[in-house]
Structure 1
Amino acid sequence: MPPALTAARAAPLHVLEVVGNAIVGGMESWVERFIERMPRERFRFTALVPVEGPFADRLRSLGAEVHTVPMADDPSWVSLQTTLALVQSQLVDVLHAHLPRAHVLAGLVGRLAERPVIATLHGREVGMLDLEVHRATGSHLCVVCRPSHRHALGLGVRPEQLSCVPNGVDTAMFQPRLRGHRTLRESLGLPQDATLLGFVGRLSPEKGPEVFLQAMHVLARRHVGAHAVIVGDGPMRASLIAQAEQLGLEGRVHLIGLREDMPAVYPELDVVVSTSHSEAMPLALMEAMACGLPVVATRVGGVPDLVQDGHTGWLAAPGDFHGTGQHCATLLADEALRRRMGRHARERVVARFDLGACVDGMAQLIERLAAPANAEAALAMPTRQFLRQS
């Protein structure tokens, strides 16, 4: 057995977070909150990221030691050697990967170093690369919603190598606040009584921001005073600006880029909209609901587990901009309905999706896989068993 997995433990478990991206996104936020909330008497963290930048700096501010190494779908020998040396010299107990390219690196190094590997899959489906790495290296897959769990089982992932730990939100950080003076409206040059919809997410095709603009076009016909803010950045930014102009929404749709003060931004919104074509358990919706906001979202992935249609908000089919716009119009026309749905949204997130439960679930999983007996059993599985499954 490797030295880090022997005998009774007095020191905290050493977890290497292998993160395949370093932008501002839901996955990165999840990793930050996870490291921040995990009990220091039981765990310590090192992080491996592809590039230096604000994300790496934030992880360091949380007490994690951070290293950079190139990550690719086919990792170089330098990346493998560097990561293996880090795991062995720092006595890492468990590798925890996020995104397929990180899973490849962690899976191979974990196999070489005889350390257990967990891959948290933040998306709706198990991708082919994640599945191949799992079958080849025996990594443990952790999904964040029930549809993803069913999908993994349907692909032949064995139940003992699969866990479901739903995403959670910090309900103390994200909570309703008295609006008072609406500084967001002031910064946008809007009247203080203007109604304001929000889209929060990466401006990329899977998030469907173009559908949000089409829904806003539908809404504008019924609610002439409505405005919208798009919070985030990404490759579709320029095309969305052009689309807003084509739809005649100039001056009514405001792209405000990335924001680091979202706990203060959400309470200034009236409704939050998610028009994603694919999701698992989106953090932006959780954060909005924790802040007491009703939501309108597409019926994809784990979203129906989060949003109770007609109770905490409304659900629409993917791409249904007309239905999405109509639901938004209904909410903006009825303040009492918005308040009631927002109150129910907050209650549901506090009861079912608080970050504490997510952290506890991951802590138990890491400790279980790091236990010597479990680690030996997982690492002793013959390679031919992986080949048969594929």
Structure 2
Amino acid sequence: MAGPQNELPTVSSVTLVLPERNDRVKADEDKLRVAYMVRTFNVGGLERCIARLANYLDRERFEPMVICLRKSGSAADWLERDDVPILELNQRDGNDPFALRRLAQMLREQRVDIVHSHNWGTLVETAIARSWADVPAHVHTEHGQGLHAEQKGLKKKLRTTVERWAFDRASQIVICAESVRPLIHRRNGFPKERMLFIPNGVEDPAQVPVAVPPAELRQQLGIPADAIVVGSLGRLAEVKGFATAVEAVAMLREREQNVHLVLVGDGPEEQNLRSLAGQLGIAAYVHLPGRQSQVADWLRMFDVYVNSSRSEAMSMGILEAMAAGIPILATDVGDNRLLVDGAPACGLVTPAGNASSMAAQLERFVNDSPLRASFGVAGRDRYLQHYSIATMASQHAELYLHHSSGVAPELAAAAQ
């Protein structure tokens, strides 16, 4: 390859020699090439966010791509356009000393202007390869609260030190939840003011055609037309606290309230939840239809959305409920209060793990139809203003454009 040579640092016994960046010729000087980094492009919340960004970025200004450190996966089906290439690095398990070299070469060959990594899984590789390939900007997003939770002792300290090293070299650290800001600061000392809050966006269920009408779903589950349906979306895992919701509904049934609970999702707690419902004598009123690909129809059936999580960053389920105009009852964890307890409020907040409090708040919804309606309207309005995919994509576009020009962005807060 012709042109002046630049010898770059040695990492894992690999010395990478690449031409200077100014030897590259962009195919279209008016567009920025954005590379989204993942380990594998399998189904998950992080991958859903990447697919949404890639789908909605303005093609007049951006050319998105997805780079998988290992392999692609079923999340590729979420890409709605055929102009988003998916590149695979095929990184081997364990020690793969040449992976960084291949990644840097890939970034150079693709003439990437902005590389966007997500969570710990792609942070360090991206930070190193970006510097080797002379990519102008590196945006890194933290999606949740659980980073390094499984690590202890020296291993945790080492990982946290490396994380801070990579954070300091990124152009921008983005957080999807305000509750993550103090956690990161306590963990590695990264300044709170240098983190930029851009919340995730979700699809508008009003734009999704009805596949199965709510009345038909009720009939399939054996739920009477006059019953109040309390519903939730999510993985049936212990951290989601669905046992508290089951216990709260049992209390309401004891008070002769006509309430049914529908939990859409699958996971390791499914059998435990079924057993708990049976022990409490409400098996006929707790419905676990499993994982559903078309959640918009299920949202239309819910009268109240419940988030019972013990730990949360920013709940995608709450955002989807807001988009559907459903009143919300949420535990006071993570960003839940920020989402539902605004002005005007679109729901109520209850302590995590407190079935009695949850039952009392649910009873307010059951007995107050105007309250449900007003919260639903407020939630829908807040979604349209702050949490649509178009808003999320627009905020990221502004971020990319600012960093491509070397000017730090000042985005407005997503929710006040």
Q: Deviations over 1:108-135 (max 9, x none)?
A: 3223323232221111476565773342
Structure 1 residue 158, shift from structure 2 partner: 3.7
1:135 alignment counterpart: 165
1:176, 1:343 → 2: CA distance? Answer: 20
Distance in structure 2 (CA, Å) of the matches to 1:186 and 1:4:
66
Change (3 A) 1:236 1:62: farther
Aligned residue for 2:388?
354
In the alignment, what sits opposite 1:379? none
- Give the one of 348, 353, 358 matched to 1:314: 348
Give, in whole Å, the separation in 2 of the partners of 1:3 and 1:74.
35
Q: Is the 8 A contact 1:296 1:313 kept in 2?
A: yes
Aligned residue number for residue 388 of structure 1: none
User: In 2 relative to 1, CA 41–61 (structure 1 residues): closer, same or farther, beyond 3 Å?
Assistant: closer
1:11-53 residue CA offsets vs partner (Å, 9 max, x unmatched):
4211111134655443333222222211011112211345444
Alignment map for 1:223-234 (pairs within 5 Å) = 223-234=256-267
Structure 1 pair 67/325, CA: closer, same or farther in 2 (3 Å)?
A: farther
C-alpha distance after superposition, 1:115-173 (max 9, x if no partner): 23222111147656577334246123100233323444455324674211122334475
Partners of 1:349 and 1:175 in 2: CA distance: 16
**Distance in 1 between the 2:64 and 2:24 partners?**
16
Is residue 2:179 matched to residue 1:147? Answer: yes
Cross-structure match for 2:328: 295
Q: Which amino acid aligns with 2:349?
A: L
Give the superposition deviation at 1:374. Answer: 6.6
- The TM-score with structure 2 as length reference comes to 0.78
Task: Tell me how far 1:272 sits from its aligned partner.
Answer: 0.7
Matched with 2:363 is: 329
Q: Could you tell me how far apart the structure 2 residues matched to 1:239 and 1:108 are?
A: 45
**Which residue is 2:377 aligned to?**
343
Rg larger for: 2
1:54 aligns with 2:67: no
Change (3 A) 1:58 1:327: same
1:230-256 Cα deviation digits (max 9, x unpaired): 112233333333333333332222222
Q: Distance in 1 between matches of 2:23 and 2:285?
A: 58
Cα root mean square deviation, aligned: 3.3
Where does residue 121 of structure 1 map in the other structure?
142
> Which residue in the other structure is 2:35 paired with?
16
Please tell me whether the aligned partners of residues 35 and 112 of structure 2 are also in contact (alpha carbons under 8 angstroms).
yes
Note the C-alpha offset of 1:366. 1.8
Q: Secondary structure at the match of 2:284?
A: coil
Name the SS of the counterpart of 1:197 in structure 2: strand
Is 2:112 the counterpart of 1:92? yes
Which residue of 2 is the match for residue 387 of structure 1? none
Contact 1:148 1:280 in 2 (8 A): yes
1:215 to 248, 256, 259: 248
Query: Following the alignment from structure 1 to structure 2, what is the Cα–Cα distance between the partners of residues 259 and 23?
Result: 17
Structure-2 residue corresponding to 1:40:
59
Give the residue type in structure 1 aligned to 2:333.
Answer: V
Alpha-carbon distance in 1 for matches of 2:243, 2:285? 15
Work out which of the residue numbers 164, 171, 192 in structure 1 matches 2:197: 164
- Matched residue SS, 1:166: coil
Q: Against the structure 1 CA distance between its residues 253 and 361, is the aligned structure 2 distance closer, same or farther, given a 3 Å change threshold? A: same
Q: Distance in 2 between matches of 1:295 and 1:188?
A: 22
Contact 2:124–2:166 (CA under 8 A) maintained in structure 1: no
Which amino acid counterpart does residue 305 of structure 2 have in structure 1?
A: V
Answering whether residue 304 of structure 2 is matched by residue 265 of structure 1, we say: no
TM-score under structure 1 normalisation?
0.83
How many Å separate the matches in 1 of 2:95 and 2:22? Answer: 26
User: Structure 1 residues 70 and 223, CA, compared in 2 at 3 Å: closer, same or farther?
Assistant: farther
Residue type of the partner of 2:367?
A
Cα distance in 2 between the residues matched to 1:4 and 1:158? 36
- Aligned-partner Cα distance in 2 for 1:75–1:288: 43
Q: How many residues align?
A: 373
CA distance in 1, matches of 2:93, 2:191: 24
Q: Is the 8 A contact 1:59 1:66 kept in 2?
A: no
User: Residue 286 of structure 2 corresponds to which residue in structure 1?
Assistant: 253
- Corresponding residue for residue 380 of structure 1: none
Given that 1:270 and 1:293 are in contact with CA atoms closer than 8 Å, whether structure 2 keeps it comes out as: yes
Residues in 2 aligned to 1:107 and 1:320: alpha-carbon distance in whole angstroms: 43
SS in 2 for 1:182: helix
Contact 1:20 1:100 in 2 (8 A): no
